[in-house]
């Protein structure tokens, strides 16, 4: 939620900052940097989190990365110039990248295989909830109060998460088997150690197998066939997710809605959009462990691409063909809501589920860090390039580019991704790394 708050903050904040009531002037170009620098902070966090996650542990790394998020809000509140906003967004982005890096590992390691997919979707759903919270507050409160209220979310996280357990996998990596047992008992809500010993043994075998290689984790990531396949899937997921324009659409939602000419105020349309995202998130949580990852990914990606193409068509008719669109100003709002719903059902949610599932414990840290780094670079390029492409080729072209990227990326990833529904992390690794066939007489 804290991450979603920072992501969605630009939607109500940029119209104020670039408007006449701002305490200091912010141009459109500067606004694009304010929106995009948040994703660059995530790149730095990915290097830091790889170090933290196996030293501090998953739990305390999450608590540590909440501090830059709090610092970001403090700087936003104190900002008297656009440079301070740049710093605030970059610092908050460090927290975002770190939290996502560690959270996908944490969730993947604490969840039972039957609910792991549903729990993974909550990562995106809670991000959407944070975005909805900030945009709703921004619709009815002035800018300075928006910033103060937004700070409550990361504060609440720090106050509550300190009581959560560390993952059993981390304790096993450190050779603290008894604490791993206690952690799993707490997570499973059981009192007898023998009820979790079979699972602890399977987890320990997976950890030992992962640690058996003497190679550096980075070399292990690219040197093993199954890990390479998982890495290609991961990078394809991040490319599809970001080049579908999600970062730009979240950052400029109110501005995009203002182009429609609808009688529904952009600030209110954003709240409707956020509500639809939440509903879709709950649907995704219910479907991901029933329908599976692959079907959801294909349906959501193709449907999202269609919604983006319709969005682009509306803006083409309005600005290029100069057609009277007053009778269907509702279309871009409906299309954008449909896009966000479809993203929440699959391509925006499942990458975080699969991030925690596809990699063995010994390379999970660098693998997730690699995904966040690449995703952050893509998101930065999309966020900064959105305004530039609009100026050069028109907003309709921007949406058509997003649609093409979304459709082609979805098909590519669907073709490569194995179904992980109902499988333990150990079973997934066995599928990605099948034993070599023995040739008779060799």
Confidence band (pLDDT; 50, 70, 90) for 438? very low
What is the pLDDT averaged over residues 254-264?
A: 78
pLDDT of residue 38: 92
Kindly report the pTM of this predicted structure: 0.74
- Do the beta carbons of residue 167 and residue 54 sit within 8 Å? no
Query: What tens digit of pLDDT does each residue of 71-119 get?
Result: 999 999 999 999 999 999 999 999 998 998 888 888 888 887 777 777 7
Quote the pLDDT of residue 191.
Answer: 86
CATH number of the 2-164+213-432 domain? 1.20.1250.20
Mark out the alpha helices in 1-57 (DSSP H runs): 2-17, 28-53
Domain positions in the chain are 2-164+213-432
Residue that the structure tokens 């199954």 belong to: 226
> For position 90, what pLDDT does the model report?
96
Stretch 312-328: mean pLDDT, rounded?
A: 92
User: In this predicted structure, which of 10-14, 63-67, 252-256 has the lowest mean pLDDT?
Assistant: 252-256
Instruction: Express each pLDDT in 195-243 by its tens digit.
Output: 888 888 888 887 877 666 546 677 778 888 888 888 888 888 889 989 9
Per-residue pLDDT band for 420 (boundaries 50, 70, 90) equals confident
Higher pLDDT, 186 or 46: 186
pLDDT tops 90 at residue 281: no
User: Would you state the pLDDT for residue 303?
Assistant: 95
């Amino acid at each position: 939620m804290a991450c979603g708050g920072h992501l969605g903050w630009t939607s109500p904040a940029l119209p104020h900052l670039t408007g006449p009531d701002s305490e200091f002037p912010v141009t459109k170009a500067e606004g694009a940097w304010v929106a995009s620098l948040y994703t660059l902070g995530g790149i730095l966090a990915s290097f830091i989190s790889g170090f933290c996650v196996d030293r501090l542990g998953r739990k305390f790394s999450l608590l540590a990365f909440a501090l830059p998020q709090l610092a970001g809000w403090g700087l936003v509140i104190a900002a008297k110039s656009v440079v301070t906003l740049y710093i605030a967004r970059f610092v908050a982005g460090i927290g975002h990248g770190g939290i996502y890096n560690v959270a996908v590992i944490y969730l993947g390691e604490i969840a039972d295989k039957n609910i792991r997919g549903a729990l993974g979707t909550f990562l995106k759903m809670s991000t959407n909830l944070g975005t909805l919270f900030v945009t709703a507050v921004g619709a009815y409160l002035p800018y300075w109060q928006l910033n103060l209220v937004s700070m409550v979310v990361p504060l609440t996280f720090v106050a509550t998460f300190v009581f959560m357990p560390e993952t059993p996998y981390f304790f096993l990596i450190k050779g603290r088997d008894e604490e791993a047992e206690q952690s799993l008992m707490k997570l499973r809500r059981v009192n007898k150690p023998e009820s979790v010993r079979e699972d602890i043994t399977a987890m320990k075998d997976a950890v030992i197998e992962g640690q058996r290689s003497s190679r550096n984790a980075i070399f292990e990531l690219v040197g093993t066939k199954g890990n390479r396949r998982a890495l290609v899937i991961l990078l394809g997921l991040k490319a599809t997710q970001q080049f579908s324009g999600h970062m730009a659409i979240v950052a400029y939602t109110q501005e995009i809605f203002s182009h429609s000419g609808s009688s529904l105020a952009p600030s209110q349309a954003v709240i409707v959009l956020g509500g639809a995202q939440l509903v879709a998130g709950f649907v995704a949580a219910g479907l991901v462990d029933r329908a599976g990852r692959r079907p959801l990914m294909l349906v959501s990606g193709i449907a999202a691409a269609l919604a983006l193409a319709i969005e682009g068509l509306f803006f083409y008719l309005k600005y290029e063909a100069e057609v009277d669109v007053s009778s269907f100003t509702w279309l871009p709002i409906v299309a954008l809501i449909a896009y966000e719903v479809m993203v929440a059902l699959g391509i925006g949610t499942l990458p975080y589920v699969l991030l925690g599932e596809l990699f063995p414990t010994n390379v999970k840290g660098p693998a997730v860090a690699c995904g966040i780094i690449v995703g952050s670079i893509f998101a930065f390029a999309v966020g900064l390039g959105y305004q530039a492409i609009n100026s050069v080729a028109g907003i309709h072209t921007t949406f058509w580019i997003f649609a093409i990227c979304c459709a082609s990326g979805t098909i590519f990833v669907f073709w490569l991704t194995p179904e992980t529904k109902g499988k333990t992390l150990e079973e997934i690794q066995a599928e990605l790394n099948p034993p070599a066939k023995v040739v008779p007489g060799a």
